[in-house]
Chains A and B, each alone.
Chain A
Amino acid sequence: MKSRDPQRQEGAGWLFVTPAIIVLGLFLIAPIGMALWVSLSDWTGRGSPISTDVNFVGTENYSALLAEPGLARQDLMISFRNTFYYVVGVVPLQTVLALSLAVLVNGRFLRGRTFFRTAFYFPSVVSSVAISLLFLFLFAGSGAINNVLAWFGVNGPNWFQDSRGLIHIFGDSIGIWSISDPPSWLTDPSVMGMSFWQWSAGPSVALSAIMMQVIWTTAGTFMLMFLAALQDLPLDVEEAAIVDGASKWQRFMNVTVPHLRPTILLVVTLGFIGTWQVFDQMYVMTQGGPAKTTLTPAYLSYQAAFTNGNWGQGAAIAFILFALIFILTTVQRWLMRDKYEWAQKKADRRLRRQQRRQHRETVNELQRKAQSS
């Protein structure tokens, strides 16, 4: 009887999802378990990680990375510092650029609208490897960028060989400190094996070039998301604002931006998740150099395992990065949560709780009645 029930499709249902379960299970879930084991072991890359020659070392790999002073911890801290500056630079700028481009090409009567949209979006569908080669050429010592800078009398740096931090350069140029002879109040105190001076370097010139590349590339994708949201903008509100005599800028800040809030949240969240994972550009362009200023956790993890054969540490870095991305996106979602939405959810929950309580009470009462009768 059960198998004839047209409402139930047990067999077909499971059959349809089986390929997905096998592939995702075998190449996603199981490997995570395996990597967790490797991160707790001393496997050197020879033979199977699940053999008797491999020893369980507990949290040794993690403590070498996070607790004990040494090269492993210093490299990880350098990669965190680099990525921090990278994220802080890229996420806001790509969001603002994407929104600006979207507003620019949103006009209904704009001539050549399709051309501009295509031009802005195209780089985000091109392979990061191809774009990286292009930017290596553009930012070369005698490349296009430095040629343009020369028009304005600026002597461009040797971008990908320059490890000086932007904050250091800025401080040097306004005379707070000298890069060649940093003050001891910054070089002496140290946190996690790195001096204040090193922590406060800012993104290096090399990293800034990569940041510009990434902003340029990804803005197109986010522009499309903003465009979709802009097209949903209710016209009557806009019209009301015009009648009220609001200026274009006022209308943008007070009507458009609040309407785009969910999209901004989405773009910033996706930006965070994407930027913390940056890997391709480092692999193709700089291999972490110069002076480790483009080292990122993702690249460090790859390097530790595949180049240096330190699989335990490589896997441990991957898990630390995973945890970090998870925590940061949760915090960021919480910080940027919509207060109104939040209040509504809370009210909803209270209502449901109330209903449940009422329901429970009714049931209890009915039971009592049933028992007493």
Chain B
Amino acid sequence: MSRENNTVEPSYLDYKGKYKGIFSWILSTDHKRIAILYLFSLLAFFATGATLGLLMKLELIAPGKTIMTAQTYNAFFTLHGIIMIFAVVIPGLPAVFGNFLLPIMIGAKDVAFPRLNLLSWYFYVAGVTLVLISQFTGQGPPDTGWTFYAPYSFRTTGNMLPAVFGAFVLGFSSILTGLNFLVTIHRMRAPGMTWLKMPLFPWTLYATGWVQLLATPIIGITLLMIIAERTLHIGFFDPTLGGDPLLYQHLFWTYSHPAVYIMILPAMGAISEIIPTFCHKTIFGYKFIVASSIAIAFVGYFIWGHHMFTSGMSGTALYTFSLLTFLVAIPSAIKVFNWIATMYKGSIDLQTPFYWALGFLFVFMIGGFTGLILGSLATDIHLHNTHFVVSHFHFIVFGGTGFAFFGAMHYWYPKITGKMYDTRWANTGLIIFFAGFITLYGEMIFLGMKGMPRRYYDYDEVFHTGNIFSSLGAIVMYFGLAVIIINLIASLRNGAKAPSDPWGGKTLEWTIPSPPPVENFDEIPVITKGPYNYK
């Protein structure tokens, strides 16, 4: 296989198809263009969610009312959660990098169902639109938090129905993407690419696909049950109608805990691509990383109850969920050990994506260890409704998925855009972002341990100093994010032309031009070696 195909086909960015202008994007069934659609919509939603988060932290900079009322604060953390969870971190890596790179990394010309792929994006935009509509119609925005917990979610006067239905539609987008990836991986791998010759990022997308396909319908049904309860007064969850509020929590977390793995598994996959490339070394323990991805996806189905330790479950359920929660730490730790072992004696090239991967390891470990503290029943009782959980959650979801997303962005940016970015600004942005991140969420660990409750817009004077640090961290982090994103946008215009393989990667995407041609490969490659062959 030649290192670089001397293709005469135009790149996917230059291709002049049947439609022009904006229609050449929103009607395109090319997986790469759909990935870019996801990228820009996702960045817009991320900017919205991040701004809401910043405003909440500014409110918390001092006790009492600072810049918003308590009701507005409730509405903000609800919208921040819905957007960030359902529209940013769940679709994040699969919809953007999965769509762009999965077919290329397995040697295919597109995904199995290109039209379904475009439909997924339409569902995605429609879902977020419904959520946004809920903010400006009815009797005020939803104020339940992103979890829509019963019985409050059908008693509040907030405009719940469009928000809940929006989350339902977003679920469909996720299911269709997962289904598409599963079929693509099963049926469209290049000749010779056996399961154990497939790169690790597609492997994690495969594990994620099963979670998307099998867990998401549960939340879909649950959200429909809320709608039925609000409109038809059927007693699923309302005790006054004979329902059980804990049933809602069971159903909600049966999806929403596996959803954490929809967020984190592809992140782990991206890190598994970045580390061997910048260590110029075959990844350590390939088969164990593959097995741990499947194990995380599988065990992840059975540990939802740790979100409900203080909700009033039976003792037997508490012990069982605590035990199962500790089990899922094992495959996660296997991955971390393998990444570090890959670095050992590697020929390390300190480039921006590698710094992001190191940052990921650091914050993910903090997230993991705080998770073990919360998985223990005795400590969880004290910490569950405090800032400690908010901090743990952000270390995993923003620290894990967010760091991996930006790492992936800097790693595959030359391939996607055909341009190199300014490394100095990229690294500067990362340092500012990292400093802000640790100050913001690190301080929240201590606030939580002191007993500062979560979801409160006011607090006791004893928490004031910690909140000042945390809020200042938010401002610094927001500034760092702006530097990172402005640098990437500016590099689209000013960046040097990217070669086909700027980092010395070995997977298939680095064998084709940057940006890739419309059909990816002139000829479908025949795979004879493993994906990380650095010998």
| Real binding pair | no
